[in-house]
């Protein structure tokens, strides 16, 4: 078992789920990790833990979304954990920084904002979702994982993204009180 696996277990055990659906996902994720020593890694075919972060500019009332190269959907930044990631939070922040091209992002808080389980071409992703704060005026830079990056006002997200991104934004806004 890796240190990242142990961190994921700790994070999920300590996390206070905001509602019964999130509590059930929390328990499902912990069960997955108990059953799969490799449950953090992409080769785990039943599914694996991933980490993502919604990049927000709370002052400007906007979020940065990526048009995912493979999925062709507007999503938050995120993806697979890597062996060099010390914690889930580190993984989420690394993904957000790599995919947004914005240096100096900071996580809204050390614990997740939300959990989301979704099927992808490689396997089920058991996504642990954070929020990352961008400074006002931050300039994005497209990575090879994106077809495009674009800032959207909070009220514009529902017109371009799916319900999972809307739910992550709603939960993030509830946490920061905007």
**Host domain of residue 138:** 3-176
CATH number for the domain harbouring residue 87: 3.90.79.10
The model carries a pTM of: 0.96
Phi and psi based region of residue 134 (left: phi greater than 0; alpha: psi -120 to 50; beta: remaining): beta
Question: What does the pLDDT read at residue 1?
Answer: 67
pLDDT confidence of residue 112 = 98
Q: Give 45-76 pLDDT, tens digit per residue.
A: 889 999 999 999 999 999 999 999 888 999 99
Mean per-residue pLDDT for 105-133? Answer: 95
Into how many domains does the chain fold?
Answer: 1
Q: Which long-range contacts (CB under 8 A, 24 or more apart) does 169-173 make?
A: 169/54, 169/56, 169/63, 171/18, 171/113, 171/114, 172/54, 172/56, 172/108, 172/113, 172/114, 172/131
Asked if residue 34 has pLDDT above 80, the reply is yes
> Could you give the C-alpha distances from 85 to 68, 73, 79, in angstroms and in order?
22, 26, 12
């Amino acid at each position: 078992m890796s240190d990242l696996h142990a961190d994921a277990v700790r994070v999920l055990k300590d996390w206070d789920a905001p509602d019964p659906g999130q509590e059930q996902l929390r328990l499902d994720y912990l069960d997955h990790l108990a059953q799969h020593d490799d449950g953090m890694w992409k080769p785990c075919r039943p599914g694996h833990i991933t980490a993502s972060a919604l990049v927000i500019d709370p002052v400007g009332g906007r979020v940065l979304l990526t048009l995912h190269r493979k999925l062709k959907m507007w999503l938050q930044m995120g993806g697979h954990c890597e062996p060099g990631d010390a914690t889930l939070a580190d993984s989420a922040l690394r993904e957000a920084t790599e995919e947004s091209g914005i240096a100096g992002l900071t996580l809204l808080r050390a614990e997740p904002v939300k959990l989301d389980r979704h099927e992808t071409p490689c396997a089920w992703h058991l996504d642990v979702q954070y929020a990352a704060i961008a400074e006002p005026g931050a300039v994005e830079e497209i990575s090879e994982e994106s077809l495009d990056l674009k800032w959207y006002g909070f009220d514009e997200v529902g017109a371009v993204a799916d319900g999972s991104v809307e739910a992550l934004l709603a939960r993030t806004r509830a946490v920061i009180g905007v």
